[in-house]
Amino acid sequence: MLKIKRRDLDEIICHSKMQNPLETCGILAGMITDIDDVSIRDVLKVYHCRNELDSPTEYRIDPEQQLQIFEEIERVGLDLLGFYHSHPRGGPRPSNIDRERANYVGYSYLIVSLYPVRVSSWFLDEFGFKKEEIQTMPK
């Protein structure tokens, strides 16, 4: 389960709208707690990233920016939870490109669809994407 504050989710949606018609992307950090065989991924920090592909159908986080963010996450004692990106013209499901290029097994992939605005999250395991519950917390 991915837990995220309404404020952070609104910020991700706003970032996605501002970058429209290009896909936007970012990194999610926080804390992971395992309770009764359920992994709760609590988003505490959202990092907006640059899509170096400048594309409406695919994204790639700038590698230098990604490395800096990974180092900061480690330095402040948070866990890397996963990533987010938008689908300006598609639904909130992993696209074929997402499936082909996803290589961070064990992480969440939050997807924002813009027309209409819908959000979903997918956990990538060794067999592929599995939809995960999103729990929106108050601001």
User: Any idea where the domains of the chain sit in the sequence?
Assistant: 2-137
Residues 82/103, Cβ–Cβ less than 8 Å: no
Predicted TM-score (pTM) of this structure: 0.96
Rounded to 5°, the CA angle 89-96-107 comes to 95
pLDDT, position 38: 87
What phi-psi label fits residue 35: left (phi over 0), alpha (psi between -120 and 50 degrees) or beta?
Answer: beta
- Report the pLDDT averaged over residues 42-62: 96
- Report the pLDDT averaged over residues 10-39: 95
Fold type of domain 2-137? Cytidine Deaminase; domain 2 (3.40.140)
Give catalytic residues, as residue numbers: 23
pLDDT, position 139: 72
- Report the pLDDT averaged over residues 75-98: 96
